[in-house]
Amino acid sequence: MNESDKLQEMLFVNKEQKEFYEGRDDIGLNRKGNVFTRLWRIARRSQIAFREAIHIDTFIYNMHSKWLSNLSDKSVLDLGCYNGNFLSILLAQNSQNYIGIDLSENAIEDLNKKLIERKINNAIGISKDFLSDEFQMDNKEKFDVIYAHSVAHHFKHFEVFLEKCHNCLREDGVLITFDPLQTYLPMYLMRQLYRPFQSDKDWEYPFKRENIKLIRKFFDIVNIQGIMGKAKLASPIYFFNHKVGIRLGLKWAEHDKIMASKEGKSLYNCLQVTLRLKKTT
């Protein structure tokens, strides 16, 4: 399949994805998909309580905020932001120019309401397909930063996505990603068992080792950090004994911060990975 065919395939899938995710609230979104997809979503929500207890999202928020640094003279694209991820407002408030982009028109309408309520005049949300010619034609100015939280793994032909990001960035531009990994064997096997029943499988491609190799064709990896490596082992303990689960989770999360900050076994035993990437010339 040539590059044009790959692009057209993903554009078609994104139309289906837009219909799937179109909704005014998270409750409506959580009702979408077949029973297996909803059960998988419930299992993921059960992990959220544990992650919150050991401050994983706070760690990611602080790390990304540090990576983004001073945005006062930067143009930012918040890619696949839905109605605002946990950094969208910070990005909009602190950057010179901000565009939030998502397939969902309803979600973008909500994001724009939030921006107006906070009187952030240098920011706008748009409902377009990042891969489309329409987006490329309407946004000829390049960006200094692309923030892609839980987005990059939605693209089947990952190299096409990376090339689009590369082309949208200015020289020395930065791409920040956060995505699921499926390099941990038990999780890989669970996903393989679930995938035949998954209603959103056409746009769900958790990172493999090959994704990291492809990234290096377009970007230098400035930072890499695995999330929920050894710490994930405390999750089942947490549901039987909160106190012990949290104590072990906090301890093992500190282990992950050190050991999963470079490529190797510790990284590939993690459930998620975040990267700060710098555009190569």
- Asked if residue 141 has pLDDT above 60, the reply is yes
Measured torsion, CA atoms of residues 167, 168, 172, 174, in degrees rounded to the nearest 10: -120
What gap in Å lies between CA 134 and CA 129, rounded to an integer? 8
Q: Are 198 and 204 in contact (CB under 8 A)?
A: yes
| pLDDT (0 to 100) of residue 197 | 81
SS3 content of the chain, % helix, strand, coil (to 5): 55, 20, 25
Q: Are 85 and 110 in contact (CB under 8 A)?
A: no
35-81 pLDDT tens trace: 656 665 666 666 788 999 999 999 999 999 999 989 999 999 999 99
- Indicate the pLDDT class of residue 27, thresholds 50, 70 and 90: very low
**Residue ranges of domains in the chain:** 3-279
CB contact set of 40 (below 8 Å; sequence gap of 6+): 194, 198
- Asked if residue 274 has pLDDT above 60, the reply is yes
What gap in Å lies between CA 281 and CA 277, rounded to an integer? 13
Superfamily of domain 3-279: Vaccinia Virus protein VP39 (3.40.50.150)
Q: What is the token pair recorded at 89?
A: 């407002």
pTM: 0.91
